[in-house]
Structure 1
């Protein structure tokens, strides 16, 4: 049964939902292991009966106001959340465009980690208009977003400091982290005080457990970063137990295109257990030495294919002879790729 939230005013849909909750769910309640619900239907479905076998809950289009109602100690569903749910998937529908919404988002993260105490798998997604203006975890105690049971986490945060805080030991059983960042660091702030920002991030990194025990790590960032060498590589080199790695990044501030040789020398050679590597990397604003031949797409592809990677690559140069190279794994989900460029 699929009823969109904007169809609730239809009396026929009300009748269908009532019958589903009052007649059908009570008959099958002891067999229900997973529920996927639009957030607006969650209260009536959870109140309909007891779901003794319920372990997975997927909540779609959750607004901040309802999230605050569901994830609190006085919630009528607190027993189910605390004692039964081990897999939780939440899609937040509200846009994050103001400071007040950022505070609400941080509060919801804290509530979920703090209340759903038997979680093993947590996936918190949301609108792509997450215009986060600051780190969500900077300045908060290490008990924020902590868990001794979560092994798999997919989450959106603001910058790499948030990622580093999540890896500082507060998630002691974590083996998979899939993180989407608004930026590695705010490009404007980096231009103003890059050394101070980088030193702060490295200080957080040095406080992390070393080596990290992650087996699977994926990082996606919307905005271009100039901190690939100074922050991203040092973080990845700590992940010596990694078996799966995914990178989706736009990189600036380099004198050459990122290719397979570079990635192998600086990252992959430090990961002896790695068996799966997917990537989508754009190197931008690279000034190529006019005394040397310009790299071609085939040149870049070859540095990957000779190591067994299936890739495609595009390169272009602008009026100022600045180069842009886009290289990506063919296996990578197309929804995660940056828009390709063409020569």
Structure 2
């Protein structure tokens, strides 16, 4: 095993842990043994971790945690970015000093994360971070980016499409709106009245969510609606159906609706995240960072992310 010793903290490291499931108050920064890379694994010195709704949802109670294979004591967070500082035997494609980003289910908010060199979100997965993408931005890509890519692959948008994206101002919406625009589609994005300027900055035509949404969409000077993606619940699904969009051109990520395809990050194409990272590096896709917090303020970071009032991603620095 190859190891870079600079910054190694005598065998211990910091990690955000839960000794009981619950809200942000259950989170604590603890000193834990630093993990070691085994055969076929790499260890990453994490510099930034991006937060997602799934992080606090998974750890909100014991029953939900069990559905994701989590048990106490439990880590927290899934998206990370950093630098490879250990390479286990037989690990190919990575070297000490490589900048990487990826996902490690409910253990990413920590000084170190060990992932498989050829892994999954459960075992941990890494991708090379392109030049021109900083670590804070890279730490936001994995979950939201792969989820948006999977959903848009189902919709197969093109220049003749007008797509309604429900919950367009959220973490997945940041990617979904811009990827839809890159595909040539017109985007109508739902959000609160206060998010209208933010949605315009992403390339969407904003429309307020809530009662009367179908009438507001009809009232826009737009081509007929041809597709819809609901990132929050089912409102966009019902409006799309009312406006004549066929079920096979509607997609959800957070709700199950009979006849409507659903997407999640695990179903994204194998090159989806690398493609997104390249778009970011080329300046064609931007990821607004709403706020950054030191790891010692993890509770405040999660409270902001869970409030759904942050216009952009919330990142924890390590």
Which TM-score bucket, shorter chain as reference?
under 0.3
Of the two structures, which has the highest relative contact order with CA contacts closer than 8 Å and spacing of 6 or more? 2
Computing the radius of gyration from Cα coordinates, the structure with the larger value is 1
TM-score (norm 2): 0.25
Larger proportion of helix: 1
